[in-house]
Amino acid sequence: MDAPAHWAGTEPVRILEADGTVVGDADVGLSPEQLRELYRHMVRARRLDRECMALQRQGELTVYPPFEGQEAAQVGSAFALGDEDWAFPTFRELAAALVRGVDPAQYLAYHRGTWHGGPYDPRATRFGPICVPVATQICHAVGVAIGLRKDGSDACALAYFGDGSASEGDFHEGANLAAVFQAPAILFCQNNGWAISVPTGLQTAGEIWRRADGLGFPGVRVDGNDVLAVYHVTTEAVRRARAGDGPTLIEALTYRLGPHTTADDASRYRDEEEVERWRAFDPIDRYGAWLLASRHADDAFVRAVDDDATAWVSEVRAGVTSSDPPPAEWVFDWTFAETPPELARQREEALGG
């Protein structure tokens, strides 16, 4: 099978081949129940992602950025974090949010257009607000990591970003700060081949994971469609962070099967043939095949997961579509801790006395 262009170069860490054949050590320290949970998360995530595409077409969501194809990268990495650890998403990390326990209806309030950022509590969930200016959230994660260390905590902070974000200044500033302060930060790049229409080859002439070397900390390239490999390398990064050994850069090679967002027409810049070729690398099929072959699960489990996902997605859908529109005063609330007199006047002008 032809490797996609942005997978060229260094072989990534891989445990499962595309067909589920084991090529590494599949014992990554997870119990059978946890192994099955990984699968359940990925299936739920994909089903919700597809539901969101449908909800957008039905006018229930505003523009939506699908993550289909990236389930293993997100689920495997988020699953490696502990309760006290933090994660900072971009705008495509719904699967990671689900693993972290973020209420999907609250998360999707962002895409429904009822509130910015995701109105879930970033402190309670330890999941940063949805972040659109790419790479800026890396600096926030590094700040959290520095803060955690000052408090003597052994928790860490993981920042998600993409191959496009890796070109931003904030990636370099954040990564360098993390290195200099030995911050317990994990920089997790999902290289999905495309920054909207620009392929990774036009984004960088090198390999993203190698940048860590120049910054003075370890980098690793992993098959981002292999959930066991992703879990494995992230767990190692978490271990280093907890031990006080500083940051790790992970480049997870994956592929965005869908458009950049529902507002994007991917046919203008890539062939459907390429996308179809990629379906052979599907992370869920791969992991499912291994689960069955390794007898950690059986057909009945797969069917049960599927049924569970159907019921769960329908619940989420109901939660999202039944949510009340936000009250008008929310436009004015929370700009400042205490509304300044001038803003209070504007509020009155807009809303009446």
342 binds other proteins (CB under 8 A): yes
Residue 193 contacts by C-beta under 8 Å, 6 or more apart in sequence? 4, 5, 6, 163, 199, 200, 254, 255, 256
341 binds other proteins (CB under 8 A): yes
169 binds other proteins (CB under 8 A): yes
Of 13 and 138, which CB lies nearer to other proteins in the complex structure?
Answer: 138
Q: Which of 100, 111, 140, 256 is catalytic?
A: 256
Of 178 and 238, which CB lies nearer to other proteins in the complex structure?
Answer: 178
User: Is 269 a catalytic site residue?
Assistant: yes
For tokens 């009945």, the residue is 300
Q: End-to-end CA distance of the chain: give it in Å, rounded.
A: 68
Of 325 and 341, which CB lies nearer to other proteins in the complex structure?
Answer: 341
Of 17 and 168, which CB lies nearer to other proteins in the complex structure?
Answer: 168
Q: Which of 111, 260, 296, 317 is catalytic?
A: 260
The binder of other proteins chosen from 4, 20, 24, 117 (CB under 8 A): 117
Give CA separation, 125 vs 63, 102, 107, 206, 353, in Å: 24, 6, 11, 35, 37
170 binds other proteins (CB under 8 A): yes
Element (H, E) at 162: strand 157-162
Restricted to residues 17-76, the positions that interact with other proteins (CB under 8 A) are: none
> Distance between CA atoms of 343 and 353, rounded to whole angstroms?
14
- Please name which of 189, 231, 229, 257 lies closest in space to residue 20, comparing C-alpha atoms: 229
- Please name which of 108, 103, 162, 122 lies closest in space to residue 138, comparing C-alpha atoms: 162
Residue 8 contacts by C-beta under 8 Å, 6 or more apart in sequence? none
The window from 49-57, 167-175, 194-202, 278-286 that contacts other proteins (CB under 8 A) reads 167-175
Q: Which of 57, 116, 239, 269 is catalytic?
A: 269
Both structure tokens of 307 = 């049924």
Both structure tokens of 71 = 């389930």
State the minimum distance, in angstroms, from the CB of residue 138 to other proteins: 8
The window from 76-84, 116-124, 245-253, 302-310 that contacts other proteins (CB under 8 A) reads 116-124
The binder of other proteins chosen from 54, 180, 202, 243 (CB under 8 A): 180
> Distance between CA atoms of 120 and 127, rounded to whole angstroms?
8
State the minimum distance, in angstroms, from the CB of residue 159 to other proteins: 10
- Angle of CA points 276, 302, 273, to nearest 5°: 0
User: Is 140 a catalytic site residue?
Assistant: no
> Distance between CA atoms of 242 and 40, rounded to whole angstroms?
28
State the minimum distance, in angstroms, from the CB of residue 109 to other proteins: 10
327 binds other proteins (CB under 8 A): no
Restricted to residues 86-105, the positions that interact with other proteins (CB under 8 A) are: 86
Site string for other proteins, 125-154 (x = CB under 8 A): ---xx---x--x-xxxxxxxxxxx-xx---
For tokens 């690793």, the residue is 220
User: Is 256 a catalytic site residue?
Assistant: yes
Element (H, E) at 88: strand 86-88
Binding stretches for other proteins (CB under 8 A): 86, 115-117, 119, 121-123, 128-129, 133, 136, 138-148, 150-151, 157, 169-170, 172-174, 176-177, 180, 330, 333-337, 340-343
Catalytic residues: 256, 260, 269
